[in-house]
Amino acid sequence: MSDEPAGPETRGVSVELLGTVDLDGEIEGLEGRQLRMRRVTMEPGATFGPVHDHRDRPGLVFVLQGTITDHRDGTQTDYGPGAGWPEDRHTLHWLENRGDGPAVEISIDIVRKG
């Protein structure tokens, strides 16, 4: 059980699916999974919550525009263009855009199909 506050609900976020790769037959043990790439746009004041984990859904995030604040483990870390972070089974966080303009990230993860 985590002591992390629940964080706010998602608002001001749009997600565009850019592509997927069916991993059945590609890598042994990844049947029923797909590699997914999305563009996530967070308007000023947007939040991506509540607090969520990435167990069973590892990924990488790369910021294209603006600044995204990652809230995890009681700390806040700002990531601007050209920076990013990994999301693994230990990740428990929520995100926000505290800037004056949109923040855009590319998110790539492995998810269960369906």
37: CATH:
2.60.120.10
Structure tokens, 97: 């855009």
Residue 4 covered by a domain: no
Q: Is the pLDDT of residue 5 over 70?
A: no
Domain count, the chain: 1
Residue 3 covered by a domain: no
Tokens 């890598």 — which residue? 27
From CA 70, how far away is CA 94, in angstroms rounded? 6
From CA 114, how far away is CA 105, in angstroms rounded? 23
What was the pLDDT predicted at 65?
Answer: 98
Residue 92's domain comprises 11-112
Residue 55 covered by a domain: yes
Work out the pLDDT band at 6, boundaries 50, 70, 90.
confident
- How do 84-87 and 59-65 pair as beta strands? antiparallel
- Amino acid in position 104: V
Work out the pLDDT band at 1, boundaries 50, 70, 90.
very low
Work out the pLDDT band at 79, boundaries 50, 70, 90.
very high
Q: What is the pLDDT of residues 24-51, one digit of tens each?
A: 999 999 999 999 999 999 999 999 999 9
- How do 68-72 and 59-65 pair as beta strands? unpaired
What does residue 105 show for φ and ψ, rounded to 5 degrees? Answer: -130, 155
Residue 41 covered by a domain: yes
Residue 5 covered by a domain: no
